[in-house]
Amino acid sequence: LQMVLIIVLGVTASCFVKGPVATLLTFGILLVSSWFNDLLKGLATGQQEGGGPFESAYRMFMHLNPTISIDDGPLKAIMLVVDKGAIGFLWTVQHLFPRFEYFDMIPFVANGFEVPWRAALLPSICVTLAFVIPCLFLGYFSMKLREMEAK
């Protein structure tokens, strides 16, 4: 089901952009969804030390570690406001991409061949259908409305 989801996302992306860009977009979605999901979750919930992206860049530029507090002032207030916007964008990205942890069947297979329906198969089928059906409609209507010579 994970392979079906990746293929459908790639085909839908290729309806809008050229092949190499669609390949990079699909690979980026795969990276964010599988390996960077915990990092995005930590940044979006505020559990990650060091603040948002602008506060982290400021800390790196000023050689400050995350345990040292930044002096109160207008720069800190501006940084916090801009970081809230960036963290909101990261939260949206985290929830926009599919979570591939639903497709991890290794713990169930390690315990035997009985894979529970409600704990393993149903969530992965629901996630696949939730992304495949809109992608099919989006790809169909984008190809129907687009001139083939322009691509």
Confidence of residue 15 (pLDDT cuts 50, 70, 90): confident
Answer yes or no: are the C-beta atoms of 76 and 68 closer than 8 Å. no
Q: Where do runs of H (alpha helix) occur along 35-73?
A: 37-45, 53-62
Choice between 34 and 113, residue whose per-residue pLDDT is larger: 34
Phi-psi region of 63 (alpha: psi -120 to 50; beta: other; left: phi over 0): left
Distance CA 29, CA 1 (A): 16
Choice between 145 and 148, residue whose per-residue pLDDT is larger: 145
pLDDT given at position 149: 56
Answer yes or no: are the C-beta atoms of 132 and 6 closer than 8 Å. no
Confidence of residue 63 (pLDDT cuts 50, 70, 90): confident
Residue 82, pLDDT above cutoff 80:
yes
Q: Which of 30, 1, 36, 34 minimizes the C-alpha distance to 13?
A: 30
Distance CA 151, CA 149 (A): 5
pLDDT given at position 33: 80
Domain ranges of the chain: 1-35+104-151, 49-97
Distance CA 34, CA 101 (A): 7
**pLDDT one-digit tens code per residue, 101-130:** 777 777 777 777 777 778 778 888 888 888
